[in-house]
Structure 1
């Protein structure tokens, strides 16, 4: 079924005319839901950015003096709880100490996070 809309006399009906745009109730509801969804997604992304910039919680540490044969891997292996990945603990130790390399020097002091088992 085709609907014919007649414009008042003297009114030019063009394709880009906003005056001819009319939303039905359903169209307004869809538009409102779409706007609410976009707002919700934007607020989630904003909250995520705030959480990502939050400072890390303080970590209890102990100091260890490196002895012959000690490696970052051996420290991480000793500290890793069952089911955890040694590489994650190793990365934490490297970040905690601000190390650029995994090489340790005898006599060097290394901070290790205290684990609670």
Structure 2
């Protein structure tokens, strides 16, 4: 029989990490905690700052995609007795413009539920 000689443990020495065998028979060491150097921390902070600037810049240059509302120059018109929305629309319609479209635009501008007008009523009419 053979004799096994073991060396005495050193005082103050850190215990050796436990090693487990993997399926292939190799030795697997337990994962160590992540430790960043000063340079590594500076790189992480720099990347975070660059990401924040990029997101902020993208937010500032964002544009909504939708209908563009254009301001329409209008004038107020007081409806006289016998005036109709069709007649007023025919007066303000541009040459070649369909009067029906102008009537609809006037109803939309004035939020009219129907095409009926009353004498003394004030409506807005596009200029030009």
Give the TM-score band, short-chain normalised.
Answer: 0.5 to 0.7
2-structure distance, mates of 1:84, 1:54:
22
Q: Are 1:94 and 2:99 counterparts?
A: no
User: 4+ runs of 1 displaced by more than 6 Å?
Assistant: none
| 1:17-96 correspondence runs (5 A) | 50=65, 53-96=66-109
Q: Which runs of 5+ in 1 are unaligned?
A: 1-48
Q: Distance in 1 between matches of 2:92 and 2:77?
A: 13
TM-score by length of structure 1 reads: 0.52
TM-score (norm 2): 0.48
Structure 2 gap ranges (5+)? 1-63
More helix by share: 1
Secondary structure of the equivalent of 2:70?
A: coil
Of the two, which has the highest radius of gyration? 2
